[in-house]
């Protein structure tokens, strides 16, 4: 009677071992795919930079998040990747010290402390308690970062805050001079282009970050030009938001028959954003949409007179293979 029991025990152990090994192998394969995709994103950003700077050597490239891309082999303990660092002019980060409440991210902070020696760091903090806004700003400025704080009623970057930190009359001719910035990529609170443009024009922000479009209408070069002076007379920078790691179904490039897996490079739903999908961003069709030709998204931004681009969803290389 004991022999069958022993056999069952051995069989169970084998099954357990197989399951454990399969999880390990699957995890290793997932990490290998992530690292390969990360290298492709590095290359994507560098190629965008090369393309844009052919038109304007001073054109500003600011990727948001995906901080590991600044390092060789995507290794935060390694050396900075010189090609990537040369290609970018700054780095944007969300929720470093605050994500609702205080959540200091020591891992990302340690990377940023290495990168800040060569790049301007722009941090967007989400602070639900308005009493913590000053603390969020102070934490960032103590690190040498410029900070934009959004409160609970401004989660989607739709409002202009009532006050500006470090307001000044300096002419901001390059990113390194910026002491504050406005992150305003939603148009929901504005009835028209003119309404939005006038509201921005009345501010003294050193850098304005907006979308290329107001609803479906592109901002013209004349409209962008009128934003390039602060209300106090100082010159400022105007940067365009663009997502290069996700596809958005309300953009001009979206085709009526597109959906997840059609085309096959549209891979995953983007949790929390029903109009977006994570994509295989290295796909040639997608890259042609983004840069490299006169009808590309980046060329539209250049033609509209923006001083640079803010590249969002850089971390697609991770979320393609992990839960959002």
DSSP 212-249: SEETTEEPPHHHHHTTSB-TTS-B-EEEEEEESSEEET
For residue 146, pLDDT over 90 is answered with yes
- pLDDT at position 295, please? 97
Q: Mean pLDDT across the stretch 60-73?
A: 97
For residue 28, pLDDT over 70 is answered with no
- pLDDT at position 18, please? 53
80: domain range?
35-319
For residue 207, pLDDT over 60 is answered with yes
Within a domain: residue 308?
A: yes
- Asked if 29 and 23 touch (Cβ cutoff 8 Å), the reply is no
- pLDDT at position 108, please? 96
Mean pLDDT over the full length of the chain = 92
Within a domain: residue 152?
A: yes
Within a domain: residue 206?
A: yes
Q: Mean pLDDT across the stretch 181-210?
A: 97
For residue 3, pLDDT over 90 is answered with no
Within a domain: residue 218?
A: yes
Within a domain: residue 26?
A: no
Residue among 84, 308, 101 nearest 212 (CA): 308
Cβ burial of 57 (10 Å; 0-12, 13-18, 19+) is exposed
Helix, strand or coil, per DSSP, at residue 278: strand
Work out whether strand 182-183 and strand 207-211 pair parallel, antiparallel, or are unpaired: parallel
- pLDDT at position 29, please? 72
Start-to-end Cα distance in the chain: 51
Within a domain: residue 116?
A: yes
Q: What is the pLDDT of residues 164-191, one digit of tens each?
A: 999 999 999 999 999 999 999 999 999 9
Number of domains the chain is built from: 1
Q: Mean pLDDT across the stretch 63-89?
A: 96
Q: What is the pLDDT confidence band of residue 154, given thresholds at 50, 70 and 90?
A: very high
Q: What is the pLDDT confidence band of residue 19, given thresholds at 50, 70 and 90?
A: low
- Asked if 61 and 87 touch (Cβ cutoff 8 Å), the reply is yes
Within a domain: residue 42?
A: yes
Which residue in the block uniquely carries the two structure tokens 């479906």? 216
Within a domain: residue 253?
A: yes
Please tell me the distance from the alpha carbon of residue 56 to that of residue 53, in angstroms, as a whole number. Answer: 5
Output phi, psi for 154, to 5 deg: -135, 35
Q: Mean pLDDT across the stretch 74-92?
A: 96
The edge-to-edge listing of strands for the beta sheet with 237-243 is 60-63, 308-312, 237-243, 207-211, 182-183
Predicted model pTM = 0.91
| Cα 290 from chain centroid (whole Å) | 15
| Helical residues (DSSP H) of the chain, grouped into ranges | 2-55, 82-87, 106-115, 133-142, 193-201, 221-225, 284-290, 297-303, 316-319
């Amino acid at each position: 009677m004991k022999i069958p029991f022993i056999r069952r025990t051995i069989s169970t152990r084998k099954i357990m071992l197989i399951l454990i090994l399969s999880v390990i192998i699957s995890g290793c394969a997932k990490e290998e795919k992530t690292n390969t995709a990360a290298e492709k994103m590095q290359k994507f950003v560098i190629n965008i930079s090369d393309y844009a700077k052919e038109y304007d050597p001073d054109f500003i490239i600011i990727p948001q998040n995906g901080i590991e891309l600044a390092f060789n082999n995507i290794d935060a303990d390694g050396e900075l990747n010189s090609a990537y660092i040369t290609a970018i002019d700054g780095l944007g980060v969300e929720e470093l010290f605050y994500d609702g409440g205080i959540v200091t991210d020591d891992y990302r902070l340690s990377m940023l402390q290495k990168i800040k020696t060569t790049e301007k760091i722009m941090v967007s903090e989400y602070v639900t308690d308005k009493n913590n806004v000053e603390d969020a700003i102070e934490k960032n400025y103590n690190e040498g970062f410029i900070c934009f704080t959004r409160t609970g009623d401004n989660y989607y970057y739709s409002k202009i805050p009532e006050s500006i930190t470090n307001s000044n009359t300096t002419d901001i001719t390059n990113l390194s001079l910026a002491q504050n910035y406005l992150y305003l990529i939603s148009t929901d609170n504005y009835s028209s282009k003119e309404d939005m443009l006038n509201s921005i024009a009345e501010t003294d922000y050193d850098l304005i970050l907006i979308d290329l479009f107001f609803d479906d209408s592109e901002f013209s070069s004349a409209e962008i030009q009128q934003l390039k002076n602060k209300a106090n007379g100082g010159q400022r920078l105007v940067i365009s938001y663009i997502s290069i790691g996700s596809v958005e179904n309300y953009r001009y490039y979206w085709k009526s028959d597109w959906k997840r897996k059609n085309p096959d490079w549209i891979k995953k739903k983007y949790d929390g954003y029903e109009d977006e999908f994570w994509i295989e961003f290295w796909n040639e069709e997608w890259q042609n949409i983004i840069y490299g030709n006169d009808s590309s998204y980046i060329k539209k931004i250049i033609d509209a007179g923006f001083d640079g681009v803010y590249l969002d969803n850089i971390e697609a290389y991770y979320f393609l293979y992990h839960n959002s």
